[in-house]
Amino acid sequence: MDETRMTGTAGREAGGENDPRTGRAMDTVVRTRGLTRRFGSFTAVDGVSLDVGRGEIFGFLGANGAGKTTMIRMLCGLLMPSGGEATVAGFDVYRESEGIKRNIGYMSQRFSLYEDLTIEENIEFYGGIYGLKMDEIRVRRDALLEMLGLQAEARKLTRDLPLGFKQRLALGTALLHDPKIVFLDEPTSGVDPRVRRAFWDVIHEESKKGKTVFVSTHFMEEAEYCHRVSIMRDGKVIALGSPGELKREYGRSTIQDVFIEVASGRTAAGGGEARAGGSGDSAGPAGKGGEGS
Amino acid sequence: MRRIYFMMKKEFRQIFRDPPMVAIIFVMPVVQMLVLSFAITTEIKHVKLAVADLDNGVATRAITRAFANTDRFDVNIVTDDPAAVKEGMRSWDAQVGLVILPGFGRDLARGPAPQVNIVMDGVDGNAASVAMGYAAGILQDYAEKSAAGAPAGAAGRGAFPARMQERMWYNPDLDSKNYMVPGIVVVLLTILPMMLSAMSLVKEKEIGTLEQLQVTPLGRRELLAGKLTPFLILSFIELAIVTVVAVLAFGITMSGSYADLALAALVYLATTIGLGIFISTITGTQQQAMFVAWFFMMFMILMSGFFIPIENMPPFLRRLTLLNPMRYFLAVVRDLFQKGTPLSSLWKDMLPMGLYGLAIFASGVMKFRKRLG
Amino acid sequence: MNASMNRAASLARKELMHIMKDPRTLLIVFIMPLLQLVMFGYAFDMEIHMIPVGVIDRDNSTESRRLIETFRGSDLFRLSEAGAGSGDVEASFQSRKTRAVLVIPPGFGKDLARGPAADVQMIIDASDPNSAQLMKNYFGQVLAGFNESGGRGGAMPFDVRTSILYNPDLKSAFFFVPGIVAMIMVMICALLTSITVAREKETGTMEQLLVSPVRPREIIAGKVLPYVFLAFLDGTFILVVGILLFGVPFNGSLLLMVGLSTLYIITALSLGLMISTVARTQQVAIMMALTITMLPTIMLSGLVFPIESMPKPLQLFTYIVPARYFLQIIRGILLKGSALAHLWQPALSLLVMTSILLTVAVRRFGMKLER
């Protein structure tokens, strides 16, 4: 059963190589149409439509409570949408969340490795539940440890690692099973700029290999590293495009300035390829937190 | 299957890496077993006795000696003032008073039949009624013995008494350990699996790893199987440990078959582990889980017949016990240990227990959703 | 002094708000003891009625039938014919159809006439030794009645008059209401306080308090006073329910009761504070509070199981369980109307324990905080 699904997906997105830097992918791996999620009377994500291609680094920008986490959770199959459509790696988020889960990696805001397991035990565990064979796990574990320079510490408890290493280990673990798409929910919050740099090196590396990377952040300079950026406010995508396009369009020199302009709601809906189902002047209640729950 | 294997391996690693956890699983039950078995006794011994013997003759001294010679009573106060008995009760120096008025010996020999007054402190109703039985027994014995010295047939021709010979089956010495220790086995098999499984699931929720597991291809059933099988295995080790302690340290005889015990335990563990899952779904933090588990535990233990016999309860509460899975398992374990009843004869308990196990486990698993919100 | 009071008061107000905002805990704190009260109060009835008894009459004479009738006349038993084989008795015990079997051997009637005595056999399922003892006593009474009504010997040469003081109906609620009050006080003062202090440590708010001008003594007072209030409230609640629902008497002095309860509450609080100086996480606090305070209070204080019946080493251990003394005090005052003259021993023991525990706890707590 599992195997047929896998080959099925591969078939669905067969398409030639494409340049990830064009910002427009021929083979779409994430596609949403009017995706919506409500918590009671509060709408956390409001009719978002997106197409993200293979190998793209796609950034989600937005203040806390703008709907970034809810969006990522729906795409990961963690949260049932209240309306709209979405497919991830060719699988429908309503009915085929198990298929999605085999093809994605995920790193949440909270540190999600087991602190009371050693580094290698954590790697082995996550490799194991993704169905990797023991010798595959060993090869990838050694590669990951080497990349992090942690070979000597492999048998130490994860609890004793410095935060920066913990975060990079978590990222490496999320990539261990070579997923098609990686979702990173504010992966760099709380780490120093050097570690953040190392993080982005990994992200670019993976993108070159053809992986799609979804990353949410509130560091504006990080947005510059993305192929395309979407700015969210009150559950809606209000601006979408490559960093260069956005800066040109709003006549600003940095994404930070674009963000301040767009997110403050002074301008109407952004341009580019945004097919965001709504405009900047939203009807949703502002400032409510939709990140939790 | 491979995924379950990795999940189990991780779980065992975490358990054995945590020394307090290891202590809770392996040392606590033995300690609890030892303390509880001695503390929880339905036997009443060494009841404090105040004697006010105002006659102080041969007969009354013999009666006092009869009381002093058993381990059921300790003569704590000897006085010639009947009021001192009551004062002794107020200061907890006496629980039973034996008051014999002057002229007892004389009246015993010549008639009319004299009085022996027994004054009970009724605060602990259970102890009081048991002590009352003891006192009556001792006086009866004394009466019989003194009658034996009198000429035979003193009561008249053709009127001989019926005598009771009692045969105490399964527990000839009326040792309360034989009854309570199998009960403690059941209590431990209730508390530990429920607490451990609830706490460990809620802990993953609290630290955020549950969300990480939810985006992996690990299915809900695989997750629960991998997470809970270790606790099932540990519960069986637990059962083995406490059974060995019961048999070796307390000399409890196991009259039934160990295989039957294991099978019944398996059915019961579905209930307690299922309750653990259920608790984890309605709580968000370990502290809440702990409180809720404690609440369940209290209800289950009180309403199981563990120390309050079910037949002594009023009808309403007796019916309420039918809802309690522990009630059935307790009956099964006690019967297996003491009477050696084959499991096939215990279907009246096994059937409801199995149904509860199935229902509770299934609803726990159903309620434990993989998606959030 | 005034500023100090104010600071403690504002801490206490904050603590009270925490308590009020956690309805789940509050519910458990009030409902659980009530549930226990109802269960113990109604369920712990030591009389057994309608014991199912099987009868094997191998004599089948007028006398044997008369004996059976005597048994039937008592409302303690429910008689049924039993199979005569010994396997049948076993089977009826295993299926719990009967709890005891009365066997009247052949020649019972003749033996009664010829003397010296006629034996009847009582086979009792003694797996529950307590009930077995009770059943044996009941059978003895019925048999004595049978003998007496036949004018047979064995009647006592003297009358035994029994009187029961303080709880003439042997109601279990009289026994358990004071016990539950003692348990509540430990639960609130030791368990809850140690958890909240551990929580403040875990979340780092304790540090925040320490950099403020609040002094350790004020922190203790502010943390502890709301729980004292809650403990009194909950204890009074259970006591009132006990008095109204079960007719538990209040024979002694209210003043003495309040005074000694305060002493006990301070003991429990000191224990809670000591635990919180050791425990860094809530989980450890919970485990410690349960094993060090709750379990001994329930198991080793005489709350349910009489201390005198325990083995000697365990009895020695009960001397360091504060609830042991408090139970004597509260049961004495409520049920027996004991005065301080009767209760000076447990009161003194409690006072000594309290002063030692409180000194150690406050000193340790202060030291931990200042570091």
pLDDT at position A282 is: 35
Render pLDDT for B286-339 as a digit per residue (tens, 0 to 9).
Answer: 777 887 888 888 889 888 888 778 877 878 888 888 999 999 999 999 999 988
Residues B200-211 have a mean pLDDT of 85
Domain ranges, ordered by start, for chain C: 2-44+171-370, 51-149
Which residues of chain B are within 8 Å of residue A117 when distances are taken between CB atoms?
10, 13-14, 17
Domain ranges, ordered by start, for chain B: 14-41+174-367, 47-143
Report yes or no: A121 at the B interface, CB cutoff 8 Å.
yes
The residue of chain B with its CA nearest to that of A96 is: B217
Where does C51-149 sit in CATH, by number? 3.40.1710.10
Which residues of chain C are within 8 Å of residue B313 when distances are taken between CB atoms?
42-43, 45
What percent of chain B stands above pLDDT 70?
95
Question: Distance, in angstroms, between B30 CA and closest chain A CA?
Answer: 27
Answer whether B touches C (≥3 Cβ pairs < 8 Å).
Answer: yes
Question: Which phi and psi angles does A56 have, rounded to 5°?
Answer: -85, 145
C140/B164 CB distance under 8 A: yes
pLDDT at position A13 is: 41
State both tokens at B219.
């299915």
C310/B313 CB distance under 8 A: no
Cα-based torsion angle of the residue sequence A203, A206, A210, A215 in order, rounded to the nearest 10 degrees? -30
Which of B149 and A138 is assigned the larger pLDDT? A138
pLDDT at position A267 is: 47
Say how far apart CA B20 and CA B31 lie, in whole Å: 14
Q: What is the DSSP string of chain A?
A: -HHHHHHHHHHHT------GGGS--SSEEEEEEEEEEEETTEEEEEEEEEEEETT-EEEEEE-TTSSHHHHHHHHTTSB--SEEEEEETTEETTT-HHHHHHHEEEE-SS--S-TTSBHHHHHHHHHHHTT--HHHHHHHHHHHHHHHT-GGGTTSBGGGS-HHHHHHHHHHHHHTT--SEEEEESTTTTS-HHHHHHHHHHHHHHHHTT-EEEEEES-HHHHTTSSEEEEEETTEEEEEE-HHHHHHHHT-SSHHHHHHHHHTT-S-S--TT---SS-SS--SPTT---S--
Which of A200 and B44 is assigned the larger pLDDT? A200
Going residue by residue through chain C, which has 371 residues, state the pLDDT in tens, using 9 for 90 and above: 577 777 777 878 877 777 777 777 777 778 878 887 877 777 666 566 778 899 998 888 888 898 898 888 887 888 888 777 767 888 888 888 888 999 999 988 888 887 777 888 889 988 888 788 888 888 888 888 888 777 665 556 677 778 888 888 878 888 888 888 898 888 888 888 888 888 777 777 777 777 777 777 777 788 888 888 888 988 999 899 889 988 889 988 999 999 999 999 989 988 888 888 887 777 778 778 888 888 888 888 888 888 888 888 888 989 999 999 999 999 999 988 888 888 899 999 999 998 998 888 888 877 665 54
pLDDT at position B153 is: 42
With vertex at residue B276, the alpha carbon angle to CA B270 and CA B279, rounded to the nearest 5 degrees, is 135
pLDDT at position C46 is: 58
Q: What is the mean pLDDT of each run of 10 residues along chain A (293 residues)?
A: 37 40 63 91 90 91 85 88 91 88 87 86 89 90 88 88 87 90 86 85 90 88 89 88 88 84 59 37 36 35
Phi-psi region of C52 (alpha: psi -120 to 50; beta: other; left: phi over 0): beta
Which residues of chain B are within 8 Å of residue C136 when distances are taken between CB atoms?
166
Only one residue has tokens 């009637």, namely C109
Which residues of chain B are within 8 Å of residue C332 when distances are taken between CB atoms?
90-92
The residue of chain A with its CA nearest to that of B8 is: A125
pLDDT at position B329 is: 95
pLDDT at position B336 is: 92
- Amino acid (1-letter code) at residue C214: V
- Does residue B362 surpass a pLDDT of 80? yes
pLDDT at position A11 is: 34
Which residues of chain B are within 8 Å of residue C287 when distances are taken between CB atoms?
20, 24
List of residues 6+ apart from C11 with CB closer than 8 A: C209, C214, C218, C219, C221, C222, C223
pLDDT at position C44 is: 61
- Does residue B372 surpass a pLDDT of 90? no
Class of domain B47-143: alpha beta
pLDDT at position C165 is: 84
Report yes or no: B232 at the A interface, CB cutoff 8 Å.
no
Q: Are A198 and A168 in contact (CB under 8 A)?
A: yes
B216/A101 CB distance under 8 A: yes
Which of A214 and B208 is assigned the larger pLDDT? A214
